[in-house]
Amino acid sequence: MRPAPAGDALAPRDARGTLATVHRDPRDQWPEHARRLHDHLVGLYGDDPLPTLAASWIAHQRSVNTMKSYARGFKVFEEFAREHGAHPMAVKFTLADGFRLWLETTPQWVRTKGGRPGEMTRTGKPYSDASRANSLSAASSFFRFLDKVSDDGVKNPFDAVQRPYINPDFSSTPGYTEQEWGKLLVTARDEHRVAAYRKRTYALLLVLYTCCLRIDALLNARVEDLGYDKGHHVLLLEKVKGGGRAKKPVPLAAWDALQDYLDDRDAESVWLFCTASGGQLDEPAVWRTLQSIAARAGLPKRGPHGTKVDAITHALAKPDARPDKVQRWADHRDSRTTQRYNQRKELLDDSPGYGLAADVAGVLAHDVD
């Protein structure tokens, strides 16, 4: 039998030889937010174990949204520990609880007006309840991770630290009515100040609204994720929360707007929504665009996350609404999450008492007669 050439795929491999010649760094597999946190911490700590452990912890999270949120919260905690002369991995309860108190009064970083590009100052509002809860949760999650990967175990100094109470039924995101949404869409389609971006903005808003999506999930979608299944146009997306994949039916109006945009754009790109040069469109660009469109439409400015709040609120307000279907459409595991998005639940007009009173009034009037 002829021996296989060295380059033959069927040739037997020498395990020791392979280990000696292949030098692949497992860190190359880290997701974006883990790599960014690693690079940020290396610039501060050099060869210290912290950058690798913190980035590994971020990469350990299941969803992109959690990675992003925890990385942001951890940076706040790391800055506090460093400014108080402590290594983040050596923080004890007293300093951990001091971090909680520090978050309640410390102004946030904001861009310096009239300053150099990227220049920041701590002149913003104090951290909100949600931001404080995120930073404390991120720090606590990091220490739980250290406990798992350490041979000797690591006590979590945040176990006894109180977290801000977050009302699960309260949403601070302002909402648009269905009529206002119509005005926003028409403005995006016909009056965007940059005519070349009208089709992209119109398609993005329509898909975001009618498919009940988070903006980060949509911006990570690729052209190849579009498809057709059992009579429906679909978009296959990575779930931002909880991991996994979600198949979203795309209504015809949104599909037509999407195809019109894709047929018209000049750049060849794998991304469903891309920049003029074909790069991935990012969230800050969408924020700026939405605020510009809202101002042009005479509507309150708001971010893209409010789109999902509006979509759920409007869907639940339909006469034939099925809360269980809206919950699945919104990719929520818990119906209580869907109801937190529903801004109509606080409207006095929706009180069932009015219907009951009308029925009772009819009976009472008949009884009086």
Q: pLDDT of 288-313, one tens digit each? A: 999 999 999 999 988 888 899 899 99
Which residues lie below 8 Å from residue 188, measured CB to CB, with a gap of 6+? 198, 201, 202, 205, 293
Model pLDDT for residues 85-110, shown as the tens digit of each residue:
999 999 999 999 999 999 999 999 88
Kindly report the average pLDDT of the chain as a whole number. Answer: 86
Whole-number Å distance between alpha carbons of 50 and 42: 8
Give residues with Cβ within 8 angstroms of 164, minimum separation 6. 129, 130, 132, 133, 136
Per-residue pLDDT tens digits for 35-79: 999 999 999 999 999 999 999 999 999 888 889 999 999 999 999
- What is the CA angle 206-234-182, rounded to 5? 15
**β-strands 120-126, 232-238 pairing:** unpaired
pLDDT score at 347? 62
Burial class from Cβ neighbours inside 10 Å (0-12, 13-18, 19+) for residue 149 reads exposed
Burial environment of residue 96 by CB neighbours within 10 A (0 to 12, 13 to 18, 19 or more): buried
**Complete DSSP assignment for 158-178:** TTTPPPPP--TT--------H
The pLDDT assigned to 4 comes to 42
Residue 142 in contact with residue 54, Cβ under 8 Å? Answer: yes
For the stretch 97-150, pLDDT in tens is 999 999 999 999 888 877 777 788 888 899 999 899 999 999 999 999 999 999
- Mean pLDDT in residue range 242-255: 85
- pLDDT confidence of residue 11: 47
Element (H, E) at 33: helix 32-45
334 within 8 A of 323, measured Cβ to Cβ? no
Half-sphere exposure of 233 (CA within 13 A, CB side): 14
Question: Which pLDDT score is estimated for 3?
Answer: 42
pTM over 0.75: no
CA 145 to CA 246: how far, in whole Å?
28
Q: Which of these ranges, 7-16, 21-30, 61-70, 241-250, has the smallest mean pLDDT?
A: 7-16
Lowest mean pLDDT among 47-56, 319-328, 342-351: 342-351
List residues bridging with 249 in a β-sheet. Answer: 234
Residue 20 pLDDT > 60, yes or no?
A: no
Intervals of CATH 1.10.443.10 along the chain: 178-345
**pLDDT of amino acid 88:** 97
CATH of 178-345, one of 3.40.50.1980, 3.10.450.50, 1.10.443.10, 3.40.50.2300: 1.10.443.10
Residue 280 φ/ψ, nearest 5 degrees? -75, 125
Q: What is the pLDDT of residues 271-287, one digit of tens each?
A: 999 999 999 999 889 99
